[in-house]
Amino acid sequence: MGWTREEDTYGKLAHRTDSRIVFLVFDGLGDLGGPDGVTPLEAARAPNLDRLAAEGACGLFDPVAPGITPGSGPGHLGLFGYDPLEWLVGRGVLAALGIDFPLEPGDVAARFNYCTLDSSGAIVDRRAGRIPTSENERLTRLLQEKVDPGEPGIRVFFRTVAEHRGLLVLRGEGLGHRVADTDPQVTGSPPLPARGEDEASERTAAIVNRIEAQVRTLLAGEARANGILFRGFDTKPEIPSLEERYRLRPVCIAQYPMYRGLARLVGMDMPPPPPELDALPEAASARWEGHDYFFLHVKYTDKAGEDGDFDRKVEVIEQVDRWLPDVLDLRPEVVVVTADHSTPVPHRAHSWHPVPTLLWAPGRVRRDSVDRFGETACAAGGLGRLHLRYLLPLALANAGKLQKYGA
């Protein structure tokens, strides 16, 4: 991984100013129309988002590239101005960073889901009914106590992340991280065997398969969480921070560990997570001094999309819209509203569809004819259709944080 000429140019042009940028990120916001052709965003009563769209510029952005369905990691790296085709990080590392697990050089980390298996071993529910975190903690303690990696010198760490999500870390000499997921991403099929792409990773995969078999035995009596699915094996990479790249003083206002892990990876300050969604403006206000980039993350639109819950997705958008004026009262120079990927209700999963985006910067942004925030309206917006990695540079320019290029 390294700098492209384009990334290097942005970095050289960036300079520090007192202007502030807010990125309000609705996870999985993009969607498809229901029977009446209207998406949850278009069905929502969101007068404040509509006002920002009318006063700013809108467009559609591809998180990675047209036609590519992104994971949350690539989607957020694009949001933060990194080319996700150059900078790819496994979910395991992000989960570890999100819960402050002390990764050491050579550690191999993977995110896991507790899942529900039927009597034949096929997956019935990839998220085990979204078990509560307290149940996750009970099961994870059991695994930490009982699972044996089967090789001398190898240590295994199981940790709770949240709800059905957990973290596996393998520590020892000679482990490879190029291991395929065991999660087939569909129900009705059994978990896949772990497979390594090279000799060191084959050793890791063999350990993972022994662990999975033990977990299945240990959890056999559980009603919901009687299996485990591994995703995103990786070791911690070295990525230049937002301060190094763009001279920003960034702060993360997010509730969920994975997104806090992503933010930590690119050098954001990390105050305690807000206790509830409505607390995000207060958390941003508390960090207003000393920072100039605010990453406000809303997870619940993505959860509603994954659950196929159109009405719940509408409710979350309307809830955020109600407290959006509290963010504007802080007087940021630039506000961006966007998503890391689309999670259409009909799909119940991430998709390749571009994400609706608005850029509000009074007196700086070139306004277009869009007068409300929605997928169809954004398709006609002045920002056009771009890769998501260009959104932060556009925000920097509108905040006066990019100097002129050339003579």
Q: Which domains does the chain have, with CATH numbers?
A: 14-88+239-398 (3.40.720.10), 95-234 (3.30.70)
- CA-CA distances (angstroms) from residue 153 to 170, 171, 207? 10, 8, 12
Candidates 181, 176, 196; CA nearest to 229 is: 181
Candidates 280, 216, 230; CA nearest to 251 is: 280
> For residue 264, what are the contacts with CB-CB under 8 A and spacing of at least 6?
97, 98, 252, 270
Is the separation of the CB atoms in 72 and 27 below 8 Å? yes
Residue 2 confidence class, pLDDT cut points 50, 70, 90: low
Q: What six digits make up the tokens of 55? A: 């006063």
Q: Give the model's pLDDT for residue 1.
A: 52
Candidates 57, 113, 28; CA nearest to 310 is: 28
Is the separation of the CB atoms in 170 and 155 below 8 Å? yes
Entry pTM: 0.81
Average pLDDT over residues 128-138: 94
Is the separation of the CB atoms in 402 and 396 below 8 Å? yes
Q: Give the model's pLDDT for residue 288.
A: 97
Is the separation of the CB atoms in 113 and 128 below 8 Å? yes
302, pLDDT greater than 80: yes
Is the separation of the CB atoms in 345 and 310 below 8 Å? yes
**Phi-psi region at 143: left, alpha or beta (left = phi > 0; alpha = psi -120 to 50):** alpha
5, pLDDT greater than 80: no
